[in-house]
Amino acid sequence: MSKAVKELVAQDIARRLGGVEDCVIGNMIGLDSGTTSTLRRQLREKKINVLVVKNSLARLATRGTRLAPAFEGLSGMAAVLYGAEDFVSLVKEAVKLHDDDKLPAFEARGGVMDGERLSSEQVKQISKWPSRQEQLSILAGQILSPGAQLSSQLLAMGGALASQIDQAGEKNG
């Protein structure tokens, strides 16, 4: 491939990855075309994009960006996974694919988060974190808990008073 063609391909990769700040690097080599097509469709449904690139071209395209550390020390081809609702959801999906027996060739090789390179082990650890949706539900529960407790305590006192008045009315009536 000539230098001019490499530059054009690197520019296209840079355009596609423009605005992407966090990603997971996977390996899809060894998957047949039918499996790859099915996998891409499943990921698209979850708003996850996949871009398979040669590492040297990806390094050229991401030079000076927050994604650059993801390609350090890698060789061959890489599948760049990006998108999803939040980064933790993306990582959870990548690790789920890594552990899937139907996709033995898929491997979560690492990634980048907040401009820092992630190893395969770090990706697995991040997959155990709560996703954005889970964090919001935890936060909502913590916010609503004191109000619910106060409400139940106030209603309990009123219920006890109403019961005593009812009992007193039955004795007198």
Residues 138-167 pLDDT 10s: 888 888 888 778 778 777 777 777 788 888
Helix axes 55-62, 3-16, angle to 10 degrees: 70
Assess whether pLDDT exceeds 70 at residue 135: yes
Residues 88-113 pLDDT 10s: 999 999 999 888 888 888 888 999 99
Assess whether pLDDT exceeds 80 at residue 52: yes
Choose between 79 and 167: higher pLDDT: 79
Using the 8-state DSSP alphabet, how is residue 117 labeled? E
Tell me, what's the pLDDT at 113? 92
Residues 114-126 pLDDT 10s: 889 999 899 999 8
Assess whether pLDDT exceeds 70 at residue 173: no
Tell me, what's the pLDDT at 41? 92
* One CATH from 3.40.50.300, 1.10.287.990, 3.40.640.10, 3.30.70.1730 for 3-129: 3.30.70.1730
- Contacts of residues 35-43 at CB distance under 8 Å and 24 or more positions apart, as own/partner, are 35/102, 35/103, 39/97, 39/103, 39/106, 43/81, 43/93
Share of the chain above pLDDT 90, in %: 28
Assess whether pLDDT exceeds 70 at residue 4: yes
Tell me, what's the pLDDT at 143? 86
Element (H, E) at 104: none
pTM: 0.74
Q: How many CB atoms lie within 10 A of CB 115?
A: 13
